[in-house]
Structure 1
Amino acid sequence: MESTNTKSSALLLLPPIPHPPSFAALKAAYNAPLLTCLRAVGHSHKPASQRTLDIALPCPHLQNSSKVTRESLYALTQTVVANLYTLLCIISAREGFDVEGVDGIDVRIILLAYPRDGKSFEPSEGRAEDELEGPIVQVGSLARCHKRWSTVYSVESEQGEQLLKRFLSIAKTNCPVQKLRGGIVQVSPTQGEKDHDTTAQTKHHKHVAVGGTFDHLHIGHKLLLTMVAFTVDPTSATEENKAVITIGITAEDLLKNKKYAEFLEDWHDRYQSVHKFLHGIISFDPANEHPESAREIRNPGPNGHAVLVQYPSGLLIRYVEIWDPFGPTITDEDIDALIISAETRAGGKAVNEKRQEKSWKTLDVLEVDVLDADEQEEEAGSTKAQVEGVQEAFQNKVSSTEIRKMQAERSKGRSKV
């Protein structure tokens, strides 16, 4: 398999998330260290393929994730990941960092199962393979994994020091450590932290799907893909039906009428970008950068072209070329959950109507937020024009169409030289 993970530029160890994890609370806690790291990685002289920032995000509510369904943890986790990616995108828009182009900074959020006090940390029970696969990982799995960071950043606080000390005691790395000024991690004393949603009946999901063009992979895609990987429940060694993730990626012929279609990536480039990101948040094998195996299939009929990627735990990721709005969701009865963005809610409803026509079980449909800076960006002292400029730059970073438009404008500018 083609290499998906060169030497990572930097790892940022953040202190545990605030509670409740509102955008304002995450900004107060993380704005300063994120800005410093983005500046350092963005201004480095490393090749573009090595400008990666892995952000380890300790989440106390995930400490006992092996004992409950992933769906019961979905709402809080989605809120945290969406708000942090929004903050990253706003900082990048304000400072002019490229987090959306092939030559930009590849930002990835890694979810750590870690207690708030850092003292009651105990590795979760489970199979050895579970310790090596994300998107939820233990500190030990992160410290021992094959990734080699040129710099580890840590936040100057009691919680930050505890996490760094634990990480270094396991990693035994010689890479430089830089300590950063942090913010204020707010934890409301009036709101007890719930590990999971106890208000609704939740299900185990063994086969989760998502679909899209995934052209010029951006932060909105990363949120969607993170939550797809998050939602599928790990399977035990004795279970016959292993976990499956199906990623439907639109065929090129269906995209000819898209704006700036000449700058669309081909199907294989889009599949490889999606896999590179997923592999970066899933694979934490200590010795092997690529423990997975992959094969491409071309069968007759709908959804016959796919790349199948198998991990040691049994997790199968299917990258399927789709030729209609439904893809495998109406040809594979075993799919049991669908992840969508809030703006494609009608698509989820249409899928379930098609499945009902076949007398199949309907899919559980889970949503991710549409990333938006409109209500978030109110920096003190900013003029209306500055706020609007940041909002426009933000949208340019989370829209494949806008990314293609910028490429078209750059290409036109070069042709005039």
Structure 2
Amino acid sequence: MDDPLGQTSVLLLLPPPPSASFHQFKDAYEPILSSVYSNLSQSLGGLNQSAVLEIALSLPRLLSPECQPRASTYGSLRHFLANIYRLIGIVSVEKHVELGGPGGIDARVFFLDFDTVENPRKETVSVSQTGPIIDLPTLAKSARLWDTIYYPSTPVGEKLATAFNSIYAGEKDPNAGGLEAIFGVPNWTTSEPLIVPEDPAKSVAHYSVVVGGTFDHFHIGHKQLLTATALALDQDPIPGKDGLLTIGVTGDELLVNKKYSEFLESYEDRCRSCASFLTAILDFSPPASSAPRIEQVSEPGPNGRYTLMMIRPGVTLKLVQISDPFGPTITEESITALVVSQETRSGGAAVNEARAKKGWKALEVFEVDILHSGDVPTVDVEDFASKISSTDLRRRRMELAKK
């Protein structure tokens, strides 16, 4: 069912990968992604349309007690997150597909707690309908209107699809699409533990996590960064432990010296992109009868302009306009964790030095892996880089404007 705006939406169910190694990950998933991208490209037919591809990457036991708090599994999950977004970039280059926008495919990744091993389920923690880690029933009951649900026609893929459809078939909206197998893909088994939790005694639960960035011309690098931030946030049903996800978005006045600054998106547009993406990977509840509660705040002083948006009860998104490199990390003592890229890790150290001067507790700093162009044919490396560079995206807008 294409929506009135001409947007197709599909779901791809991926069973657990053979290992954490990128090369084995790529060998298993690249043929599957290539097939889905080919199908979607043909359905778009070069028209002024776009497609949303939601990718549910299965990993066992993510909602089990031994994988709590979320900080204990962050080290494992960040690598899988980088693997899948790196592979998305590679396939988009191979298939000459834009990553979003007219004629493009907007891919979004979240994690599914699903085990293909025939073992009785052990105890799980209380499950909410909040991603980016969810269980199979939550996904099947989410009432999202996918045109097609793809899955690989392999033993583990069939097992995942059967388990999903046993719930989805009874919940399915009359306007939603059905399941479709992808044939001719390699079979594999998982031969090693995929998630290796750190010692829970050394891991702290975080209910207020922050990340900062420009988020101009939203791309897969931004998606990886925001998903990683959400992975560091605990969602605990205990009253008074609601999760707060703070996104510091650079104000327009700090960006005047950016390259191709005339093609920068406005602060409001950049905030909308962040909020739309995070809602898509966090909220899997059935559609609410009322619009989400949004509060716009404008107060004097640093970080006084912000938007509060309740993603769902217990999880709030805060979009803050920042005017310096520190943002709310040195004005809000209650924040306990900061997410940075490997390229900006020095910023985390600077933040904690500034907090120490105020007598505040240091933030736990979580890093995000860099998306690099390994395994991309040399002739296509520049194309891969342009898909994860806001500067290149602005340059391309400038070149189009001159035509």
Give the TM-score taking structure 2 as reference length: 0.91
Give the match for residue 216 of structure 1.
217
Q: After TM superposition, give the deviation of residue 63 of structure 1 in Å.
A: 4.0
> Equivalences for 1:8-407 in 2 at 5 Å?
9-19=9-19, 21-45=20-44, 51-64=51-64, 68-101=68-101, 103-117=103-117, 120=120, 124-126=124-126, 130-172=127-169, 173=172, 175-181=177-183, 182-188=185-191, 191-198=192-199, 201-236=202-237, 238-288=238-288, 292-373=292-373, 375-377=374-376, 387-407=377-397
Q: After TM superposition, give the deviation of residue 184 of structure 1 in Å.
A: 3.8
Q: Check 1:177–1:312 CA distance in 2 against 1; reply closer, same or farther (3 A cut).
A: closer
Kept in 2, the 8 Å contact 1:11–1:53? The answer is yes
Q: Number of residue pairs matched?
A: 393
What is the CA deviation profile of residues 236-290 of structure 1, one whole-angstrom value per residue up to 9, with x for unaligned ones? 2x43142111000000111011111111000110011111111111111124287
Relative to structure 2, which stretch is displaced further, 100-109 or 389-398?
A: 100-109
SS at match of 2:257: coil
What is the CA deviation profile of residues 107-132 of structure 1, one whole-angstrom value per residue up to 9, with x for unaligned ones? 01121011132664578341xxx431
Paired amino acid for 1:110? F
* Structure 2: distance between partners of 1:121 and 1:289: 34
Q: Check 1:23–1:140 CA distance in 2 against 1; reply closer, same or farther (3 A cut).
A: same
What is the CA deviation profile of residues 124-152 of structure 1, one whole-angstrom value per residue up to 9, with x for unaligned ones? 341xxx43111111111111113110011
Paired amino acid for 1:196? P
Paired amino acid for 1:25? Q
Kept in 2, the 8 Å contact 1:146–1:289? The answer is no
- Structure 1, gaps ≥5 residues long: 378-386
Paired amino acid for 1:108? R
* Structure 1: distance between partners of 2:355 and 2:369: 25
Q: After TM superposition, give the deviation of residue 376 of structure 1 in Å.
A: 3.0
Kept in 2, the 8 Å contact 1:29–1:186? The answer is no
Q: After TM superposition, give the deviation of residue 93 of structure 1 in Å.
A: 1.3
Q: Check 1:91–1:274 CA distance in 2 against 1; reply closer, same or farther (3 A cut).
A: same
What is the CA deviation profile of residues 360-397 of structure 1, one whole-angstrom value per residue up to 9, with x for unaligned ones? 11110010011001x333xxxxxxxxx22221111000
Q: Check 1:133–1:123 CA distance in 2 against 1; reply closer, same or farther (3 A cut).
A: farther
SS at match of 1:148: coil
* Structure 1: distance between partners of 2:121 and 2:289: 27
Q: After TM superposition, give the deviation of residue 8 of structure 1 in Å.
A: 5.4
What is the CA deviation profile of residues 316-360 of structure 1, one whole-angstrom value per residue up to 9, with x for unaligned ones? 110001011110011000110000000001111111111111111
Q: Check 1:252–1:132 CA distance in 2 against 1; reply closer, same or farther (3 A cut).
A: same
Q: After TM superposition, give the deviation of residue 168 of structure 1 in Å.
A: 1.2
Paired amino acid for 2:179? V
Aligned-residue sequence identity (percent) comes to 36
Q: Check 1:400–1:45 CA distance in 2 against 1; reply closer, same or farther (3 A cut).
A: same
What is the CA deviation profile of residues 149-175 of structure 1, one whole-angstrom value per residue up to 9, with x for unaligned ones? 001111111111111111111111362
Q: Check 1:211–1:148 CA distance in 2 against 1; reply closer, same or farther (3 A cut).
A: same
Paired amino acid for 1:221? H
Kept in 1, the 8 Å contact 2:50–2:104? The answer is no
Kept in 2, the 8 Å contact 1:25–1:186? The answer is no
Paired amino acid for 2:381? Q
Kept in 1, the 8 Å contact 2:305–2:321? The answer is yes
Paired amino acid for 2:297? I
Paired amino acid for 2:22? F
SS at match of 1:124: coil
Q: Check 1:288–1:185 CA distance in 2 against 1; reply closer, same or farther (3 A cut).
A: farther
* Structure 2: distance between partners of 1:293 and 1:178: 37
What is the CA deviation profile of residues 62-110 of structure 1, one whole-angstrom value per residue up to 9, with x for unaligned ones? 1416861111100110000101110110111122110154652110112
* Structure 2: distance between partners of 1:202 and 1:68: 8
Q: Check 1:233–1:199 CA distance in 2 against 1; reply closer, same or farther (3 A cut).
A: closer
* Structure 2: distance between partners of 1:118 and 1:281: 28
* Structure 2: distance between partners of 1:133 and 1:66: 19
Kept in 2, the 8 Å contact 1:291–1:311? The answer is no
Paired amino acid for 2:188? V
Give the TM-score taking structure 1 as reference length: 0.88
